[in-house]
């Protein structure tokens, strides 16, 4: 078993950072579309362990990666709570029954992993038999899930969420608490099923100002992670730059930072907590020499311990395969022992 | 003439910060829709000086604001360069002929303000006769305009821009240089026509990592502002948190910061350069007492000199009028002399 990822997460000496990237199983791979198009929809793919395991393995066949992440979607738990989720082509996820009033929360049931989301555990079981790299499990963070559930999908300004949050702060806290408890159970179940690490995705936390982040999103993320044991717990937010001084309060073991966050500042603020990141996914649109230069700069700035190489956000659907090769090769060629 | 804004921009003593907000003439006002619906389209409104002046004045009739901003759109200059711009309901601006290859740049002509965008100057002429507060002119910053022109509209991941930028860096620099020169001339013309201040909107600069920001967006913004004289020049970007250490290199006289940026850190990094901001537009969805608390915290943290109160981004289309009243009243009630 390749344990580079786990050693880096323990800040042990490594010759180079481990490399994997968010959404590495996905739309930029033609073989992904083959599987996806053989099924009635995106959720059907998430819910078919055999197919979800297959697309999880696809990037590992092309690229020499040091970690894998189970194919799944962060909105599976809200769907398991009874929300009417549909993935619409060209639009993304849509909840047809958004939560707009505290009374709407009565509709939400407390799901169980085994009863309502068993496919995730089955996918993990298939994967752990075949993988020779550590497998990540993941969940959406409570604020990010609440944002989707209240907006009814993606949003630019999150005005429905803000309205709910400020008009009904107690109900919003209650929603976050329920989601945090579900996230915690869900992450623990993925570890118990064989995941070697888990990541909490607080993609939309940057909709909040720092005060609101510390009042709502941060304590909910902390609660989600608090009782999760047995594997390193990572925390990602797409606007990490604004929240760097408070990230440690989540209690996470490592932080994935976005591409706008200056790596030197992240290291300075986060101290010796391991950091993951932070190449701009858009850099993979560039020529190999540019990608190599950017990769090497990030590794240099992150330093020799406690760094996991990754993109600063999910890989884009139009990403050239050659760009990914250039990134992975540049990381693998690095050798701290030769510097 | 109310000169509170100009005094604050000179860091002179003021009893309270001046208050205005981005997109204060806009869709959250019912009287705006009356004017907008009487015209064939959004661009027709921008291009009709009488109507543009009318909607500019509308928020000043409802709220006691300390500044005005000419109604216009940042995409007027690219349209004047010959690009086929349409505002589509529910989708926003669309360029039907995006720049995807350096050869597409041959299509772009060098516009003149008087010949291709005269309506802006006519609107300013009408307004300066009627206003008793300073009038802002504005322009989109070169990178943000280039991003729209290459994507063909808004975007989440800006992969077309990144592809163009990294595959054709010289052509991209040339595009930015041309846009910077047009921005500079355009801003100067607005000052010469009577604007008391100008603002450069680099809304999408946060698509870039800090290195790319410093290579492309920042020098282009500096070039746009370099020869603009006779009025304070402000610079806004929606992801100011990541770029704070480099903002001063734009040469701007003051910086508008977004709502995710911690005001104390902004002050710490920017020193005594005036700062504008930074209430979350989403906070206006909350009850008056919450808005008042947030307003007072921002003013306290910004301190008594060189602060202009504003939102951290444009006011949202579903913003309640009462929320705006609560914000404006909270700023106007403040008195540094009584503390």
CB contact under 8 A, B261 and A282: no
CB contact under 8 A, A209 and B312: yes
Please state, as a whole number, how many other Cβ atoms lie within 10 Å of the Cβ of residue B337.
Answer: 9
Stretch 205-234 of chain B: residues touching chain A, C-beta under 8 Å: 206-212
Q: What is the pLDDT of residue B18?
A: 98
Q: What is the pLDDT of residue A250?
A: 98
DSSP track, B3-22:
-HHHHHHTT---SS--B--T
Q: Which residues of A touch B281 (CB under 8 A)?
A: 157, 159
CB contact under 8 A, B280 and A206: no
A117 closest CA partner among A149, A166, A82: A82
Greater pLDDT, B298 or A91: B298
Overall number of domains in chain B: 1
Chain A within 8 Å of B245 (Cβ-Cβ)?
Answer: yes
Q: How far apart are the first and last CA of chain B?
A: 27
Domain at A44, CATH number: 3.20.20.210
CB contact under 8 A, A262 and B242: yes
Catalytic status, residue B73: yes
Output DSSP code: residue A248: G
Arithmetic mean of pLDDT over chain A: 97
Q: Is A273 left (phi over 0), alpha (psi -120 to 50) or beta?
A: beta
Q: Which residues of A touch B283 (CB under 8 A)?
A: 162, 166, 209
B281 closest CA partner among A157, A11, A197, A187: A157
B23 closest CA partner among B42, B1, B50: B42
CA B127/CA B54 separation, integer angstroms: 9
CA B198/CA A186 separation, integer angstroms: 51
Q: What is the pLDDT of residue B283?
A: 98
pLDDT digits (tens, 9 = 90+) for A291-315: 999 999 999 999 999 999 999 999 9
A92 bridge partner residues: A88
Residue A274 has pLDDT above 90, yes or no: yes
**Active-site residue set of A:** 23, 27, 36, 73, 148
CA A49/CA A126 separation, integer angstroms: 8
Q: What is the pLDDT of residue B316?
A: 94
CA A336/CA A228 separation, integer angstroms: 33
DSSP track, A272-331:
TS-EEEEE-GGGGGS-HHHHHHHHHHHHHHH-SSSEEEEESSPPPTT--HHHHHHHHHHH
Nearest-neighbour CA in chain A from B310: distance (Å): 14
User: Which of A157, A243, A312 has its CB closest to that of B282?
Assistant: A157
Q: What is the pLDDT of residue B103?
A: 98
A254 bridge partner residues: A234
Chain B within 8 Å of A94 (Cβ-Cβ)?
Answer: no
CB contact under 8 A, B209 and A260: yes
User: Which of B166, B208, B262 has its CB closest to that of A242?
Assistant: B262
CB contact under 8 A, A167 and B259: no
User: Which of B208, B278, B285 has its CB closest to that of A163?
Assistant: B285
Residues in Cβ contact with B125 at an 8 Å cutoff, skipping those fewer than 6 apart: B49, B193, B194
Instruction: Spell out, as residue ranges, where chain B has pLDDT lower than 50.
Output: none
Chain A within 8 Å of B13 (Cβ-Cβ)?
Answer: no
Chain B within 8 Å of A286 (Cβ-Cβ)?
Answer: yes
Evaluated on CA atoms B251, B256, B261, B267, the torsion sign reads: positive
Catalytic status, residue B100: no
CB contact under 8 A, B209 and A158: no
Q: What is the pLDDT of residue A90?
A: 82
DSSP track, A162-209:
HHHHHH-HHHHHHHHHHHHHHHHHHHHHHHHTT-SEEEEE-TTGGGS-
User: Which of A241, A262, A282 has its CB closest to that of B157?
Assistant: A282
CA B141/CA A177 separation, integer angstroms: 42
A315 closest CA partner among A128, A14, A63: A63
Residue of A nearest to B258 (CA): A209
CA A108/CA A105 separation, integer angstroms: 5
- B242 lies in which domain range? 4-338
CA B184/CA A194 separation, integer angstroms: 59
Tokens 């991209």 belong to B172
User: Which of B162, B207, B260 has its CB closest to that of A242?
Assistant: B260
Residue A91 has pLDDT above 90, yes or no: no
pTM, two decimals, is 0.96
B229 closest CA partner among B200, B183, B197, B255: B197
Strands A233-236 and B135-140: unpaired
Alpha helix (H) residue ranges in chain B: 4-9, 30-37, 42-46, 49-62, 76-80, 113-116, 118-130, 142-151, 159-167, 169-192, 210-212, 218-226, 240-243, 263-270, 288-302, 321-333
Residue A89 has pLDDT above 90, yes or no: no
Q: Count contacts between A and B (CB, < 8 Å).
A: 112
Chain B within 8 Å of A287 (Cβ-Cβ)?
Answer: yes
Nearest-neighbour CA in chain B from A207: distance (Å): 8
């Amino acid at each position: 078993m390749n344990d580079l990822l786990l050693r880096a997460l323990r800040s042990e000496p490594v010759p180079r950072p481990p490399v994997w990237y968010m959404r590495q199983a996905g739309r930029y791979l033609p073989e992904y579309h083959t599987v996806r198009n053989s099924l009635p929809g995106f959720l059907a793919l998430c819910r078919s362990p055999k197919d979800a395991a297959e697309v999880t393995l696809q990037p590992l066949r092309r690229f020499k990666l040091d970690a894998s992440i189970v194919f799944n979607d962060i909105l599976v738990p809200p769907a398991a709570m009874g929300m009417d989720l549909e993935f619409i082509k060209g639009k993304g996820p849509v909840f047809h029954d958004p939560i707009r009033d505290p009374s709407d929360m009565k509709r939400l049931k407390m799901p169980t992993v085994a009863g309502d989301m068993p496919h995730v555990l089955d996918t993990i079981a298939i994967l752990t038999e075949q993988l020779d790299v550590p497998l990540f499990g993941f969940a959406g963070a409570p604020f990010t899930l609440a944002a989707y559930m209240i907006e009814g999908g993606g949003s630019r300004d999150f005005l429905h969420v803000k309205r709910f949050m400020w008009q009904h702060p107690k109900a919003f806290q209650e929603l976050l608490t329920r989601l945090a408890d579900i996230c915690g159970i869900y992450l623990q179940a993925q570890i118990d099923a064989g995941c070697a690490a888990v990541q909490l995705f607080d993609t939309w936390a940057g909709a909040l100002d720092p005060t609101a982040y510390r009042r709502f999103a941060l304590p909910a993320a902390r609660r989600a992670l608090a009782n999760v044991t047995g594997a390193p717990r990572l925390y990602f937010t797409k606007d990490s730059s604004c929240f760097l001084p408070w990230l440690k309060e989540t209690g996470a073991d490592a932080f994935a930072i976005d591409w706008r966050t200056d790596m030197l500042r992240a290291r300075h603020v986060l101290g010796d907590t391991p950091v993951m990141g932070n190449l701009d996914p858009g850099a993979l649109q560039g020529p190999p020499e540019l990608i190599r230069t950017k990769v090497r700069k990030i590794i240099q700035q992150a330093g020799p311990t406690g760094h996991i190489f990754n993109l600063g956000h999910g890989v884009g659907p139009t990403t050239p395969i050659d760009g990914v090769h250039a990134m992975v090769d540049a990381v693998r060629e690095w050798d701290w022992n030769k510097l």
